[in-house]
């Protein structure tokens, strides 16, 4: 193996640049040429390739977003699009590819590898932390801390006005961010997709908190945790609670910003591990970290197996809200 490529795909996540940096510098350290593919799978189809060396990734460790850009490609979802991408890779003399992204990125990488026999490995870059085969994904810790900072500020206002705030965080299909932020932010209620939430039960918690002397409450809602989101939950809860509710949707601020130390270290470790995996002959696998050890998981497992929340953490959130 003489030349490898790296790209980012899907939603951006803080720490992606740290992973790219690690791929480039680790690759060069092993005597490889490293090519960056701009704009994800679409750039692969268009042949948007750029050589990358150690200086090209200087001062990127602390930057959010992705210097290689990202895009969603409908064309790559077709056999013809993937064939064009594979042809470009082969013409460029690329012997292996590193994909940084989430579930959709893994699915595309798996098809590219299976249909065109191009060695591909993946690194988990998504704030949702919902990929099987790794304890944490790149960007999750930063997203949690960004959301937590916002919740701490909102709590000041909630306490001053004796109000209930419904704060919506990202997590359409998984409640990892909401659960982590809920515990760290002292939320009275945490609403996640994995465990159905009843508006009346939510209101009862808020009412009981008020009876115990609490002047305000925080309800953290994963965007997919309640049909209609935090706005609808707030409307439904008003029927059973005398408190005036306010809704804040944190949205895409959770994706941006400088990555935390934890995300920088994780991304650096996984990026380097991807290079080592390709050199060892691995392909069609996702690189993760489990119990502080690097683990390789077949794409099929990483895509199809569901990573469940820690139910003990959910119970802890409930107990600590008393």
Is 253 labelled as part of a ligand binding site? Answer: yes
CB atoms within 10 A of CB 156: 10
> Does the annotation list 246 as a binding residue?
yes
Task: Say if residue 62 carries a ligand binding annotation.
Answer: no
Closest residue by Cα to residue 256 from 66, 38, 41, 8: 66
In the sheet that 245-249 helps form, which strands lie side by side, from edge to edge?
189-191, 217-222, 164-169, 245-249
C-alpha separations of 251 from 69, 143, 147, 254, 268 in Å = 20, 10, 9, 6, 26
12 is catalytic: no
Collapsing DSSP to helix, strand or coil, 277 comes out as: helix
254 is in an annotated binding site: yes
Rounded CA gap, 34 and 94, in Å? 9
Catalytic residue among 12, 48, 56, 128: 128
The response to whether 235 counts as a known ligand-binding position is no
Query: Does the annotation place 214 within a ligand binding site?
Result: yes
Q: What is the rounded distance in angstroms from the CA atom of residue 294 to the CA atom of residue 51?
A: 28
Q: Is 315 annotated as a binding residue?
A: no
Contact assessment for residue 86 and residue 113, using Cβ atoms and an 8 Å cutoff: no
72 is in an annotated binding site: yes
90 annotated as a binding-site residue? no
- Residues of the binding site for ADP: 21-25, 155, 186-188, 212, 214-216
Active site residues: 128
- Residues of the binding site for ATP: 11, 72-73, 102-105
- Residues of the binding site: 11, 21-25, 72-73, 102-105, 126-128, 155, 163, 170-172, 186-188, 212, 214-216, 223, 246, 252-255
- Residues of the binding site for substrate: 126-128, 163, 170-172, 223, 246, 252-255
- Residues of the binding site for Mg(2+): 103
């Amino acid at each position: 193996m003489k030349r490898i490529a790296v790209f980012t795909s899907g939603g951006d996540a803080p720490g992606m640049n740290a992973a790219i940096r690690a791929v480039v510098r680790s690759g060069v350290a092993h005597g490889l040429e490293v090519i960056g593919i701009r704009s994800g799978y679409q750039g692969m189809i268009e042949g948007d390739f750029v050589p990358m060396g150690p200086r090209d990734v200087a001062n990127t460790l602390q930057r959010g977003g992705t210097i290689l850009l990202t895009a969603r490609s409908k064309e790559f979802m077709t056999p013809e699009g993937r064939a064009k991408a594979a042809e470009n890779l082969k013409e460029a003399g690329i012997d292996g590819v590193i994909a940084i992204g989430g579930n959709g990125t893994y699915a595309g990488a798996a098809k590219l590898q299976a249909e065109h026999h191009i060695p591909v490995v993946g690194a988990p870059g998504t704030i949702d932390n919902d990929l099987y085969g790794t304890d944490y994904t790149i960007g999750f810790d930063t997203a949690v801390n960004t959301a937590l900072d916002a919740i701490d500020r909102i709590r000041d206002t909630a306490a001053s006005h004796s109000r209930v705030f419904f704060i919506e965080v990202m997590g359409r299909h998984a409640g990892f961010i909401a659960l982590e932020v809920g515990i760290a932010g002292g939320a009275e209620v945490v609403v996640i997709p994995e465990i159905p939430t009843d508006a009346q039960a939510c209101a009862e918690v808020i009412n009981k908190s008020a009876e115990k002397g609490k002047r305000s409450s925080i309800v953290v809602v994963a965007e997919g945790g309640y049909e209609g989101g935090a706005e609808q939950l707030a409307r439904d809860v008003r029927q059973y609670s005398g408190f005036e509710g306010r809704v804040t949707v944190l949205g895409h601020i959770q994706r941006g910003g400088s990555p935390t130390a934890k995300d920088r270290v994780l991304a650096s470790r996984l990026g380097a591990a991807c290079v080592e995996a390709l050199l060892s002959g691995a392909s069609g696998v996702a690189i993760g970290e489990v119990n502080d050890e690097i683990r390789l998981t077949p794409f099929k497992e990483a895509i199809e197996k569901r990573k469940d929340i820690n139910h003990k953490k959910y119970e802890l959130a409930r107990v600590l809200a008393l």
